[in-house]
Structure 1
Amino acid sequence: MSDLQSLINAALAAREKAYAPYSKFSVGVALRSAGQVFSGCNVENAAYPLGSCAEAGAISAMVMAGQANIEEIVVVGGEMPCTPCGGCRQKLREFGAPDLKVHMVNPRGDILLQRSLSDLLPDSFGPEHLG
């Protein structure tokens, strides 16, 4: 199985665990860092602003494991490409280079869209700007 296919499978499995009783829009993410795969799912809350995105969960798992460099990421939402939200794009930039590959897939695992992080977040502000 290819590295990308293993990320897709992990993102699909994460999406199955999503807690989305309000929006009914489940999202799963899997990212690779130092050869390890970390996944996350969206978790909603009755007080809408208190939910968390799937990307944030996967990044937290990565950081807890002592890693700090995202090499590739897969996001699975619905039938249309589910791109990371603005806040998650910045979170990805904290741990990923501008050429980070971001793959958006549907619930069957078909790749719908592939972009670099710089495509999604042009002229980004990253850790190197703080010297």
Structure 2
Amino acid sequence: MSHLISSFAMTDDDLIQAATQLVGEFRTGPDCVAGRVAAALVTAKGNVYTGICIDLVCSLGSCAEYSAIAEMLKARESEIHTIVSVCGSRIVPPCGRCRELMRQVSDANARTRIIVARGRMATLSELLPFEWKRI
């Protein structure tokens, strides 16, 4: 099931709420916990995609941002306008792996607004100032 939400005037608070509604840890078995972190993003076209993390005992798994970005890519979109990740009731910035994914998915994502706290934003290029492939 796709987590596409059409957005005409998605505010940052709306995006935070979309991610917060998905947070909720659950187990699918003794080796898999999901939902500790959720992410929501809005694309340059105004569509919203969401995802949750998957944590596995073997240390393989997937971040919530990866899940949301995969949903976006399935719809053949690649430019992220704004993204937020939530763990419990806290906003958490994306990890380095997720930052690099956003950057490599589209050069335009250097301008992506990342909500790092309520009322506080940073662009991806501010969080990832030195691109390894361009140095």
TM-score under structure 2 length normalisation: 0.74
- Which range is displaced more, 71-80 or 84-93? 71-80
Say which of 71, 84, 87 aligns to 1:74: 84
- Equivalence for 2:6: none
Tell me: CA distance 1:46–1:104, structure 2 relative to 1, closer, same or farther (3 Å). same
Say which of 3, 8, 16 aligns to 2:16: 8
Question: Which amino acid in 2 is paired with 1:54?
Answer: A
- Equivalence for 2:99: 89
8 A Cα contact 2:41 2:68, kept in partner: yes
- Equivalence for 2:115: 103
Identity, % of aligned positions? 30
- Equivalence for 1:115: 122
Whole-Å Cα distance in 2 between the matches of residues 4 and 27 of structure 1? 18
Aligned-pair Cα RMSD in Å: 2.9
Correspondence list, 1:53-72, <5 A:
53-72=63-82
Aligned residues: 121
- CA deviation map 1:53-90 (0-9, x unaligned): 00100000000112111111111125665221111010
- Which range is displaced more, 69-78 or 39-48? 69-78
TM-score under structure 1 length normalisation: 0.76
Whole-Å Cα distance in 2 between the matches of residues 100 and 77 of structure 1? 20
Question: What secondary structure sits across from 2:66 in the alignment?
Answer: helix
- Equivalence for 2:58: 47
- Which range is displaced more, 72-81 or 59-68? 72-81
Question: What secondary structure sits across from 1:43 in the alignment?
Answer: strand
Whole-Å Cα distance in 1 between the matches of residues 127 and 88 of structure 2? 19
8 A Cα contact 1:101 1:117, kept in partner: yes
Structure with the larger strand share: 2
Whole-Å Cα distance in 1 between the matches of residues 63 and 23 of structure 2? 11
Structure with the larger helix share: 1
Whole-Å Cα distance in 2 between the matches of residues 101 and 60 of structure 1? 18
How far did residue 19 of structure 1 move?
5.8
Whole-Å Cα distance in 2 between the matches of residues 125 and 30 of structure 1? 26
